[in-house]
Chains A and B, each alone.
Chain A
Amino acid sequence: MSMKASTRQVDGVTIVDLSGRITLGEGSVVLRDTVKDLLGKGQKKILLNLGDVSYIDSSGIGELVSAFTSVRNQGGELKLLHLTKKVHDLLQITKLYTVFDVKDDEAGAITAFGK
Chain B
Amino acid sequence: MESTLESVNQAEAMAEQFSSRAGFEEDTRGGISMAVREAMINAVLHGNGYDPAKSVKLTFEQNGRELIITITDQGKGLDPDEVPDPLAPENLMKQSGRGIFLMRAFMDEVRIRKVDPGTEITLIKRLQNNDLDPQEAST
Please give the residue numbers on chain A whose beta carbons come within 8 Å of chain B beta carbons, in ascending order: 23-25, 57-59, 61-63, 65-66, 68-69, 86, 90, 93-96, 99
Contact = CB atoms under 8 A, between A and B. Distances in A.
Chain A binding site: helix, strand, loop or mixed by DSSP? helix
Chain B binding site: helix, strand, loop or mixed by DSSP? helix
Contacts of A65: 93-95
A98 to B, nearest CB: 10
Contact of A58 (B5, B87, B93, B98): B98
Contact of A66 (B87, B92, B95, B101): B95
A90 B99 CA distance: 12
Interface string B93-135: 1111011011001000000000000000000000000000000
B98 A94 contact: yes
Interface of B: 5, 8, 30, 34, 37-38, 41, 45, 86-87, 92-96, 98-99, 101-102, 105
B30 to A, nearest CB: 7
Contact of B95 (A23, A57, A62, A93): A62
Contacts of B93: 65, 68-69, 99
12 contacts: A23-B37, A24-B8, A24-B41, A57-B102, A59-B96, A61-B98, A63-B95, A65-B93, A65-B95, A93-B105, A94-B86, A94-B101
